[in-house]
């Protein structure tokens, strides 16, 4: 089964597998968000994060390669009374426009292999405007001990050193490593080992 087929089958259910509330780390960054501007939500899936960002008054572009996920994202946006632009695309192959977004958000997109991740992150860097805000959250290798979500391949998980190497030249970089109870839909439930980054280009 291809990665696309795997996610299509996961998303092709009535339930929102990661819930409809925003990721807790993203929500905690509310005070850092601009009052207006364009946001790119990378691999936004069923739209919980993109819709929440739109509710903050931002213009949201939500990219994902799953039609099943984006149908649910569209339904969630309609239910919440906001508009988001849905673009169906592989996040590793999309033509990221340069200096186009005030905020770039990447939450748990750890299906990227070590070969794919550098290009994705380079594209995210390119598309963020100078002074723009980057928000990332992912699982750390310790998550393999908990098994409450995320990939099973250690090389797909994020470390402080990895994030510092790629984004350490940004301003106001803050990296937070946590172990906490997460309850974000059926797919993320229980004690989790996560890392979050915020910074400005």
Phi, then psi, of 62 in degrees rounded to 5? -110, 115
What does the pLDDT read at residue 176? 98
Strand partners, 127: none
**Which pLDDT band, with edges at 50, 70 and 90, does 3 fall under?**
confident
Predicted pLDDT at 179: 96
Which one is predicted more confidently, 188 or 190? Answer: 190
Q: What residue spans of 56-155 are helical by DSSP H?
A: 67-80, 117-127, 143-146
The DSSP element (H or E) to which 189 belongs, if any, is strand 188-200
Question: 171 - beta bridge partners?
Answer: 200
Q: How high is the pLDDT of residue 9?
A: 87
Assign domain 3-200 to its CATH superfamily.
Vaccinia Virus protein VP39 (3.40.50.150)
Hey, CA dihedral for 149, 33, 98, 71, is it positive or negative? positive
- 5 or 54, higher pLDDT: 54
CA angle 40, 132, 107 (to 5 degrees): 40
166: number of Cβ within 10 Å: 17
Which pLDDT does position 14 carry in this prediction?
Answer: 86
Q: Give percent of the chain above pLDDT 90.
A: 87
Q: Average pLDDT in the 36-64 region?
A: 98
Q: CA-to-CA distance for 167 and 145, rounded, in angstroms?
A: 27
The confidence band for 40, taking pLDDT boundaries of 50, 70 and 90, is very high
Q: Would you give the distance in Å from CA 95 to the centre of its chain?
A: 18
The answer, yes or no, to whether residue 34 has pLDDT greater than 80, is yes
Distance from C-alpha of 154 to C-alpha of 147, rounded to nearest angstrom: 12
Sign of CA dihedral 165, 170, 171, 176: negative
Q: pLDDT value at position 5? A: 85
Predicted confidence band of residue 188 (pLDDT cuts 50, 70, 90): confident
pLDDT tens digit sequence for 142-186? 999 999 989 999 999 999 999 999 999 999 999 999 999 998 887
Domain residues of the chain, as ranges? 3-200
What pLDDT digit, counting tens, does each position of 57-101 carry?
999 999 999 999 999 999 999 999 999 999 999 999 999 999 999
Quote the mean pLDDT of the chain.
95
Burial zone of 126 (CB within 10 Å; 0-12 exposed, 13-18 middle, 19+ buried): middle
Q: What is the pLDDT of residues 120-137, one digit of tens each?
A: 999 999 999 999 999 999
pLDDT value of position 54: 98
Q: Helix (H, G, I), strand (E, B), or coil: what is residue 72?
A: helix
């Amino acid at each position: 089964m291809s990665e696309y087929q795997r996610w299509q089958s996961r998303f092709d259910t009535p339930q929102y597998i990661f819930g409809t509330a925003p990721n807790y780390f993203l929500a905690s960054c509310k005070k850092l968000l601009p009052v207006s501007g364009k946001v790119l939500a990378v691999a936004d899936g069923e739209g919980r994060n993109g819709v929440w960002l739109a509710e903050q008054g931002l213009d949201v572009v939500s990219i994902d390669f799953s039609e099943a996920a984006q149908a649910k994202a569209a339904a969630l946006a309609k239910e919440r009374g906001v508009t988001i632009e849905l673009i169906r695309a592989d996040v590793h192959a999309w033509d990221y426009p340069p200096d186009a977004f005030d905020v770039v958000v990447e939450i748990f997109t750890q299906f990227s292999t070590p070969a794919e991740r550098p290009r994705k992150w380079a594209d995210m860097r390119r598309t963020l405007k100078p002074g723009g805000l980057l928000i990332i959250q992912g699982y750390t290798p310790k998550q393999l001990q908990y098994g409450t979500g995320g990939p099973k391949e250690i090389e797909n998980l994020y470390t402080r050193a990895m994030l510092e190497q790629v984004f350490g030249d940004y301003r106001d970089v803050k990296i937070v490593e946590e172990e906490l109870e997460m309850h974000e839909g059926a797919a993320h439930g229980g004690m989790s080992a996560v890392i979050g980054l915020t910074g400005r280009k």
